[in-house]
A and B are shown apart, each in its own frame.
Chain A
Amino acid sequence: AQSVSQHNHHVILSEAASLELGCNYSYGGTVNLFWYVQYPGQHLQLLLKYFSGDPLVKGIKGFEAEFIKSKFSFNLRKPSVQWSDTAEYFCAVNPSYRDDKIIFGKGTRLHILP
């Protein structure tokens, strides 16, 4: 079945550690890709997005993500995390043939230890 997979459900890191959250999707063809973040008690907000062009995209708060088409992946990275990055992160995919909807992954809950 077509889907969006986030490999880690729960990640715990210490401050200053490097972060990589995996995301794979199973849709063929052109896709638009997103990472959303939900801080505790807040609603979802866009972290970054990829539509076309440079496969390495930079978002807010020092986050970046790399689109690797051959691997159907869009992993999220940050070189040095902060306590304020504690949140839930959702990868989302918009397949080109479903231009009205975005498919969300199940989310990765990130907990940063001070």
Chain B
Amino acid sequence: AQSVTQLDSQVPVFEEAPVELRCNYSSSVSVYLFWYVQYPNQGLQLLLKYLSGSTLVESINGFEAEFNKSQTSFHLRKPSVHISDTAEYFCAVSDWRSGGYQKVTFGTGTKLQVIP
């Protein structure tokens, strides 16, 4: 069975500082990996995804995540955060299987608080 661990429930960081949100997964097969963001009082939005190919994936608002198979990690990073990045971030994993629905398992979320 697949699982996702987000060890940090809250991460405070000063504006313009770098940030890393950690995500580790476990699965017995190849995986797809995702990061979602949830702004206050809103639903989730897909931020970025790794399906195959380059292990470094980027979002349009400056976040990036790197798939590391040996460490089973998919950490999310941003070199300089803004107040508007304050949100909850969810890591998710989907097993790669042939045919059928591939269930997506979500982590418990990390709240990023950007301090002015």
A, B bound: no
Which residues of B line the A interface, CB within 8 A? Answer: none
A residues bordering B, Cβ < 8 Å? none
